[in-house]
Amino acid sequence: NSVRPSSAIAYVYRGTFVHSTQQTALQILEDALLGVDTEGKIAFIGEGKELEKLSQTFGFSTSEVTQLEQHEFFMPGMIDTHIHASQYSYAGTALDLPLLQWLNTYTFPVESRFKDLEFAHRVYTQVVKRTLRNGTTTACYFATIHTDASLLLGKIANDFGQRAMVGKVCMDRNNGVKHYKESAQESQDETCRFIKELLNKKYPLVKPVVTPRFAPSCTGALLGQLGAIAKNNNLHIQSHISENVEEVQLVKELFPESESYTDVYHKYNLLTDKTVMAHGCHLTDEELDLFRETGASLSHCPNSNFSLCSGVLNVRNVLKHKVKLGLGTDVAGGYSASMLDAVRRTLDASKVLTIQDPEHNTLTFEEVFRLATLGGSQALSLDDITGNFEVGKDFDALRVNVAAPDGPIDLIQYEGPKTHLEKFLNLGDDRNIMEVFVAGRKVLPLTEPTAE
């Protein structure tokens, strides 16, 4: 499993690597060698005993190889498939109302503040820094309706070196906070401006996403226009679906001609193989079939689903329907901006289903590890670029020390990589994440961008 390098080797690590493949949820490579080329791509991954041969084939010096410590391993960077950057300021509060009331009471008033670019700069800088420290190498962000602030989020992600998908939020319907909306025409025009200006910046790791907030916030006319924009420009799409029962009922009333919530998006060409929909707790099997047929994916946001008492997604059933699925923090409906929390809450949600029905096949930590990494890359249609340590992909990785000196894990003895990963997923935090790489570049420790 090595190919001839297209560019020179920049660096080589030797030690334990853990990742997922389509076939195995957890593949452990002990005493492995991984080389990264000057373009940030994985040039080779081989065995330590092949050092001599690899160094000749790929033209690097064996003395330049960096050896990991015994309690260290590399894992793929985690992929947050759904996070509202604009809601980070009130994360950890305001979790006492169900979705629709929560939006009107807390969310819309805060999001309206992002017309102030100074406020946007403060919040967006903090959320990018925090998620990078937490090991999120790729984030799929919702911003707000404000185009310039949304562009600023793209700039900040680029400056800190995070891979990001950024959506300027579209909504032409809002009965709760009446001033926080656009006309359909404005929303369409500003979406086009957002896409054009973001693409013009040529940030290598940042992509625009067409972002209708969710069906209740949009008229059919706007949904149709956004579907057309996505199609004509071959763009990613993100939104929310079937998060809570009241919302599903509201969609039925607002779109009486549609057979289901999924059918609303499908009808407006918003379900494609580049679409990711958050939640989906209350989707029927027929709706999941439509997801599979269109190639659309789901983002599972268990902290949010618990915190707003929205529902419990049956991930096993989603996987049975062969629908692509990743994990999301859904800040601030979810109170934690850490994907490790999303991993834990995913396991909890699965266990709740097993408590209710002992026949339920509980997710394993290995499976949830895959959802947080490779699954996320598939859900965002980025799996030819990131998600695991396949040769040719970008090196998006976390250097984890399970026994970090001031960390939260007391390791009594060496347990081996599988147990070290399990301990990190269940007990670890940012103190265990020693380095973060995105596209081969070391982005943690953080480097503050230099003013231009």
* Residues in touch with ligand GUN (CB under 6 A): 84, 99, 103, 107, 213-214, 240, 243, 304, 330, 333
Closest CB to ligand GUN among residues 103, 223: 103
Tokens representing residue 60 in the block = 């690097």
Min CB(262)–Fe ion separation in Å: 17
Nearer to Fe ion, 111 or 396 (CB): 111
Q: Which CB atom, from 214 or from 395, has the smaller least distance to ligand GUN?
A: 214
Angle at 345 between CA 412 and CA 170, to 5 degrees: 140
Cβ 143 to ligand GUN shortest distance, Å: 11
Q: Is 330 in the site for Fe ion (CB under 5 A)?
A: yes
Answer for the pair 66, 33: CB distance below 8 angstroms, yes or no. Answer: no
Q: How many of the other CB atoms lie within 10 Å of CB of 446?
A: 14
Closest to ligand GUN by CB, 169 or 340: 169
**What DSSP letter does each residue of 115-130 carry, written as one string?**
GSHHHHHHHHHHHHHH
Residue nearer to ligand GUN on the CB measure, 18 or 281: 281
> Closer to Fe ion at the Cβ: 330 or 430?
330
- Residue keyed to tokens 């009965």: 175
d(CA 279, CA 12): 39
- Residue 391 C-beta: closest distance to ligand GUN, Å: 38
Q: How far is the CB of 339 from ligand GUN (least distance, A)?
A: 17
**Nearer to Fe ion among residue 207 and residue 279 (C-beta):** 279
Question: CA-to-CA distance for 111 and 284, rounded, in angstroms?
Answer: 32
Q: What share of the chain is helix, strand, coil (3-state, %, to 5)?
A: 40, 20, 35
388 contacts: CB under 8 Å, gap ≥ 6:
19, 20, 21, 76, 373, 374, 377
Measured from the CB of residue 183, what is the shortest distance to ligand GUN in angstroms?
Answer: 19
Residue 214 site contact among Fe ion, ligand GUN, none (CB < 5 to 8 Å, cut-off depends on kind):
ligand GUN
Query: 274 and 237 in contact (C-beta within 8 Å)?
Result: yes
Q: To the nearest whole angstrom, how small is the minimum distance from the Cβ of residue 58 to Fe ion?
A: 43
- Report the residue number, 71 or 82, with the smaller CB distance to ligand GUN: 82
* Strand, coil or helix: 14: strand
Q: Which two tokens stand for residue 410?
A: 């007391």
Give the span between the Cα atoms of 62 and 142, in whole angstroms.
Answer: 45
> Exposed/middle/buried for 415, CB within 10 Å: 0-12, 13-18, 19+?
middle
Q: Quick one: which H or E segment has residue 280? A: none
Distance between CA atoms of residues 305 and 18, nearest Å: 29
Q: How many residues bind Fe ion (CB under 5 A)?
A: 2
Site string for Fe ion, 275-314 (x = CB under 5 A): ---x------------------------------------
Token couple for 417: 């990589």
Distance CA 313, CA 301 (A): 9
Helix (H, G, I), strand (E, B) or coil at 299: strand
Which range touches Fe ion (CB under 5 A), out of 44-52, 64-72, 220-228, 274-282? 274-282
Piece in contact with Fe ion (CB under 5 A), picked from 49-57, 273-281, 282-290, 396-404? 273-281
Q: Which of ligand GUN, Fe ion, none lies near 243, with the C-beta cut-off 5 to 8 A by kind? A: ligand GUN
Tell me the CB-side half-sphere exposure of residue 4, using CA atoms within 13 A: 1
Tokens 């057979």 map to which residue?
A: 259
- Residue among 20 and 310 whose Cβ is closer to ligand GUN: 310
150 binding partner (options ligand GUN, Fe ion, none; Cβ < 5 to 8 Å by kind): none
Q: Residue 86: name its binding partner from ligand GUN, Fe ion, none (Cβ under 5 to 8 Å by kind).
A: none
Q: Which residue is nearest to Fe ion (CB)?
A: 330
Distance CA 446, CA 160 (A): 7
The answer to whether the CB of 391 falls within 8 A of the CB of 44 is: yes
CB of residue 111 to ligand GUN, shortest distance in Å: 8
Q: 107 touches which of Fe ion, ligand GUN, none (CB within 5 to 8 A by kind)?
A: ligand GUN
Binder of residue 213, out of Fe ion, ligand GUN, none (CB less than 5 to 8 A by kind): ligand GUN
Residue 108 binding result from Fe ion, ligand GUN, none, given CB thresholds of 5 to 8 Å by partner type: none
Least Å from the CB of residue 330 to Fe ion: 4
Nearer to Fe ion, 330 or 367 (CB): 330
Q: Which does 127 bind (CB under 5 to 8 A by kind): Fe ion, ligand GUN, none?
A: none
Cβ proximity of 210 and 237 under 8 Å: yes
Q: Which of residues 217 and 401 has its CB atom nearest to ligand GUN in the complex?
A: 217
Helix (H) or strand (E) holding 371: none
Binding footprint of Fe ion on the chain (CB under 5 A): 278, 330
